[in-house]
Amino acid sequence: MTCRKVIILSCLLLLLGSVAACTEKATPPVDVLVKIDNRIVTLQDFRRDFEQILPKENQGSAAERDELQRSFLAQIIDRELALAAAEKFGVKVSPAEVDAALAELQRDYPDGEFEANLQEGKMSLADWKRELQDRLLIEKLEKKVVGDQEKVSDAAIAAYYRANRDEFDRPAQVRARQIVVANEAEGEKILALLKASVPFAQVAKEHSLSPDAEAGGDLGFFARGEMPAEFDAVVFTLPVGRLSPLIKSEYGYHIFLVEERRAAGKLSPAQAHEEIRATLQAELEERLYQQWLDELRAKAKIEVNWALLDQR
C-alpha cells in the first residue's frame, strides 16, 4: 500500500457485514434473528453492527433505513455461509497473517488516528482483528472456489479495448520513489546519505517508514491528483534523477526521487493488454464466486424472524 489518498483505508468499511455469529454448540438466545443452517445471528449483534454503518449525521427516512437494514442482513447471511464453507473446506488464516495485514493497514494512518477510529466505532482492537481475520478468510475462500476455472480470452480483451477506447487516454505520469521518516532531523541525515551516493532504494528499505519501503520506496507511475497535493507540487516539477528537499505532510517527512516520466497519450492495444486482462479476470472471478454463493444459498436452510427485525 502507498500513501495514495484513494487507498487510505477507513476501518469503518471493514465493519460492513461484521456480525458475530455463534455455532451450533451455543445455546440459542430468545432473540435469534437469523438461523443459517447451524449458525445464528442475534438481534443484538445485528443492531450493534447495523448502527455502525449508518451515517452519523443523516440516517435517512424510515423507509430508507428499512431498505438498508434488509440489504445489510442479506450481506450477513452471505458472510455466514462463506465462513461456514471455509470451515468445511479447511481454509484457515494464521495469527501471523492477521498481524501482517493489520500492520500494513496501520501504516497508512497518522499517529493515533487508527485507534481514534476504533474508539469512534466503539470497537476494541481484539474485536477488529477478529473481523479482519474473517475478511482474510473469505478472501482465501474466494480464491479456492474460483481457482483456475476460467481465463479471459485474447478476443475478449481486444473487444474490450475497442468498446472503451476513451478509457485508455492517459494524462502525463511520473514514476517516483520516496523515503518517509518521522522528523526533520532524521530526514536531514537521510538526505546526507543520499547525497553521498548511497542508492535510494537501499536507503528506503533500511530507513523508510512507508509500506513501499520493501520495494525500495517505489510508488510506480501516477498522475496528478492521485497523490496528496504536497507530493504533486514536488514530483511534477522535479527533474528526473534529482533528489527533492524534505517535504512535510501528515505522514511525516518525505524525500522523493523521480525516475521516469510518461507524456500524455493513448495506450495501444498491446500496452493496455495486461491491464484489461487483470480487470476482466477480476470481474470474471467475482461472477463465478457469486454464482457459487447463490448455489450455496439455495441449498442452505435460512430462517429470518422478520417480525423481530421490524421491531422499533
Domain boundaries, the chain: 5-149+287-309, 172-263
The listed CATH number (3.10.50.40, 3.10.20.600, 3.40.50.2300, 3.40.50.150) that belongs to domain 172-263: 3.10.50.40
Higher model confidence: residue 233 or residue 311? 233
Q: What is the mean pLDDT of the chain?
A: 84
pLDDT mean over 69-85 = 90
Task: Give which of 227, 257, 231 is closest to 244, Cα–Cα.
Answer: 257
Lowest mean pLDDT among 87-91, 114-118, 183-187, 193-197: 114-118
Non-local CB neighbours of 262 within 8 Å, separated by 6+ positions: 170, 172, 173, 174, 175, 221
pLDDT of 175 > 90? The answer is yes
pLDDT of residue 131: 85
The DSSP bridge partners found for residue 258 are 176
pLDDT of residue 22: 44
The listed CATH number (1.20.1740.10, 3.30.750.80, 3.40.47.10, 1.10.4030.10) that belongs to domain 5-149+287-309: 1.10.4030.10
* Residue 183: exposure state from Cβ atoms within 10 A (0-12, 13-18, ≥19): exposed
pLDDT mean over 103-120 = 75
